[in-house]
Amino acid sequence: MSGERTMTTYGNRRERIQYLLGRYGIHVLGRVLDVGCSEAPMREHCPGGYCGIDQSGNPDVIVDLEEGRLPFEDRAFDTVVCTDVLEHIDRLHALFDEMVRVCRGRLIISLPNCWGGFRTAILLGRGELKQYGLPMGPPEDRHRWFFNYEQAERFIRGQAARHQLTVRVCEPYYGADGPVARVARFCYPGGTMRRHNVFSRALWAVLERGTNGR
């Protein structure tokens, strides 16, 4: 695994992958499955092997992520990556089960905190709620789920327990340590989960299979 540069914040898919490699690259080992890869910006950073799957973009294998079983054998990949994808999937629980099935090492997952993303628009009483709202025509893409950081963490830890995975990382992403982070610390000095719910942008998690093979 290699990265171009260490990112402390990100604003698009390529930057998000650079952030992943900079912060969690130590967990990216061996053959990698990139779920919902889009244009596959991670491909060039995986010398141990890479397979990107998606319905469009530049995947190695075209897969409808709503269709159920992934077209791979059990534990076919050392690392499974799924960044800001599950919230787009109606059957996200089934997809999560499939990611666990095809993983023999670690899963790296990010989920957005929808509350934090819409905080300003709601407080100001104007603005668009990206990936939601009511467009004039059928949208090409949208979020199927609306949840906060606390619910995202509960989901990750609950799924880890159900699949007997070890939680190596489960933490909020705030972006750059600018005015928002300072306001968060000032407004919620003792309310960590409330701070995460209101101000964090995403949750990042690294889950690992046990050495006993479970």
Residue 89 lies in a domain: yes
Residue 180 host element (H or E) = helix 179-187
Q: How far is residue 20 CA from its own chain's centroid?
A: 10
pLDDT at 181: 64
Q: Is residue 1 part of a domain?
A: no
Distance between CA atoms of residues 131 and 178, nearest Å: 25
Residue 112's CATH number: 3.40.50.150
- pTM to 2 decimal places: 0.90
- How many angstroms separate the CA atoms of 183 and 200, rounded? 12
- Total number of domains constituting the chain: 1
- The CA distance from 125 to 69, in Å, is 42
Report if residue 63 sits inside a domain. Answer: yes
What's residue 191's pLDDT? 64
- Position 6 in a domain: no
Least Cα distance to 17 among 26, 106, 37 occurs for 37
The chain-wide mean pLDDT, for the chain, equals 89
pLDDT digits (tens, 9 = 90+) for 158-175: 999 999 999 999 999 988
Do residues 130 and 117 touch, judged by C-beta distance below 8 A? yes
Of the candidates 96, 88, 107, 105, the one whose C-alpha atom is nearest the C-alpha of residue 147 is: 88
> Is 5 within a domain?
no
Query: What pLDDT score does 168 carry?
Result: 97
In a domain, 214, yes or no: no
Residue 124 is predicted with a pLDDT of 74
Tell whether 39 is covered by a domain.
yes
Residue 211: both structure tokens together: 């050495």
Higher pLDDT, 133 or 178: 133
Rounded Cα gap, residues 130 and 148, in angstroms: 15
Residue where the block lists tokens 């999937």: 89
Q: Give whole-number Cα distances, 182 to 7, 33, 175, 185, in Å.
A: 20, 37, 12, 5
State which residues form the domain around 31: 13-209
In a domain, 4, yes or no: no
Check whether 185 has a pLDDT greater than 60: yes
For the segment 45-86, what is each residue's pLDDT rounded down to a tens digit? 999 999 999 999 999 999 999 997 999 999 999 999 999 999
User: What is the per-residue pLDDT for 62?
Assistant: 97
